[in-house]
Amino acid sequence: MGAKPIDPEDPLIGTLLAGRYEVIRRIGEGGMGLVYEGKHRDIDKPVAIKVLRDNLSRRPDVVARFRQEAKSASRIGHKNIVDVSDFGETQYGSSYFVMEFLEGEDLANVLGREVTVDPQRTCRIVLQCCRALAAAHAKQIVHRDIKPENVFLIERDGVKDFVKIVDFGIAKMGDIETEGQPGRKLTKTGMIFGTPEYMSPEQAAGKELDHRVDVYALGIILYECLAGRVPFVGDTFMGVLTQHLFSEPPSIVEMNPKAQISAELELVIAKALAKDPDKRYQDTAELAEAIECALDGRVSRATAMTPPSGRMIPVRDTDPVPRRKRPRWVWAAAAGVTAAALWVWIGSGGKPGAEASDPPMEETTLLAVGAPTVQEPPPTDDRPSLVNLHVATAPMGARILYLDGSEACASTPCTLEATSGTPLVLRAKLGRRTGRTRITPMQEETVLIELKAPKKATTKPRKSAEAKPRRKRETPTRASDLKVPEWAR
């Protein structure tokens, strides 16, 4: 927050809010509002003032939710969450709230400067986030937009990297269009709201959310601090969301060969990033315990109970696969074959092969029990191979149909089995929006279908009553026809 003053011509600078908050300078801005450094004039205490933008302050629903978010952050009352102390309106009618003034930098600035963060420091930061979010979740408040930009680091009582989570709960405002600062990851809005790089699969699919979306976001932060980048990147918003839905994160060592990460900590990250919320840590307290155990070279009970999916480094060798028990008749048949073969071998005088004059019964016995001396090659499977085809739509929740009209899946995102090398036409339908794609899958892949609304039909204007009358068909005149007088024409 030690930035240079922004726009000194700002009309708020130098004014007094509520008769006690002096606005000194603007120190930051985002899509929703502007942040100012201020001072409580009566007690000479520095404060930060966040002012909602003018265009949003004219929307009563946004103002009500902005006020509710200020109440939520204030109600949690945790040392690792920024404290909100007051709320009001400027003389220009813009809503604002007052919070504690923070001197330091956010985790995004640290990553931008240092690229990676060592495991010990990363874990200390995330453990504080876990404790803060646990307090919020206990009050039924979910942040839903945890990212490095919202993890602010200050120095307090000689302790560096003291965490303050800011912009708490702002991501709940799903009907506000926002664009972040230049160079920062943009916060998109609409049916799906949040920052795509840190968005959980259920958040990407527009499903009902709970506090486990914050667990997933903390897993992304752990990954980014150690790997030097987020696990999923893309050129488009939906491209990143599709990877969260279907792709497994690359190994951290693959992204950063110099990463000093233990197998225990990589298991923690893998479980925190599970696609299924039920397979993640069920709260941030479990995640915090798992991180502390990993720092000690141990695996927590929660980590061991649910095997994480995706790439991981096993802590111990897997148990050998138990042999499949054979039915008793197999052993009986094998014993019969052995006895018959031994009897024939004795009857032939102990020679490797039987003579031509041997009794036919002995040869028949060997053929009957099926003791071939030459193994035939196993039959080849000429059936076409099947591949998984992951289907996503923008927006999500569409019904997928095959070309013949039969249903492929009821709601996207979904996974279909397709024949490798065979062209496939898929149609998507969501309300009046439709989309279509043609693909020839050769291996497992993901397809995104964009849905478009139907074009409005243009109606031709009706002809007025004074329109030019239709010209009658002229008939050829004949000599016998009477001529029409001039006055009657």
Instruction: Give the chain's mean pLDDT.
Output: 78
Decide which of 184 and 233 is more confident: 233
pLDDT at 306: 61
Could you read off the pLDDT of 5-43 as tens digits, one per residue?
A: 556 678 899 999 999 999 999 998 876 788 999 999 999
pLDDT at 193: 61
Decide which of 436 and 326 is more confident: 436
Indicate yes or no: pTM above 0.85.
no
pLDDT at 325: 41
Sign, CA dihedral 204-205-207-211, equals: negative
The DSSP annotation for 442-484 comes to: SSSEEEEEE-BPPPPPPPPPPPPTTSPPPPPPP----TTSPPP
CA distances from 383 to 84, 359, 420, 426, 442 (A): 65, 46, 11, 23, 15
113/11 Cα distance (integer angstroms): 34
Which of 42, 44, 118, 145 is catalytic? The answer is: 145
Least confident of 59-63, 125-129, 271-275, 357-361: 357-361
16/23 Cα distance (integer angstroms): 6
* The residue to which tokens 């092969």 are assigned: 353
DSSP letter at 332 equals H
Could you read off the pLDDT of 161-203 as tens digits, one per residue?
A: 999 998 865 544 333 444 444 445 544 433 456 789 999 999 8
Catalytic-residue membership of 145: yes
Decide which of 446 and 109 is more confident: 109
Q: Which residues, including other chains, have CB under 8 Å from residue 239's CB and lie 6 or more apart?
A: 448
447/80 Cα distance (integer angstroms): 42
All domains of the chain, ordered by start, with CATH?
16-100 (3.30.200.20), 105-305 (1.10.510.10), 386-450 (2.60.40.1120)
pLDDT band at residue 72 using 50, 70 and 90 as cut-offs: confident
Could you read off the pLDDT of 393-416 as tens digits, one per residue?
A: 877 788 999 988 899 999 888 889
Decide which of 14 and 336 is more confident: 14
Structure tokens at 46: 């520095």
Cα angle 278-282-283, degrees, rounded to a multiple of 5: 155
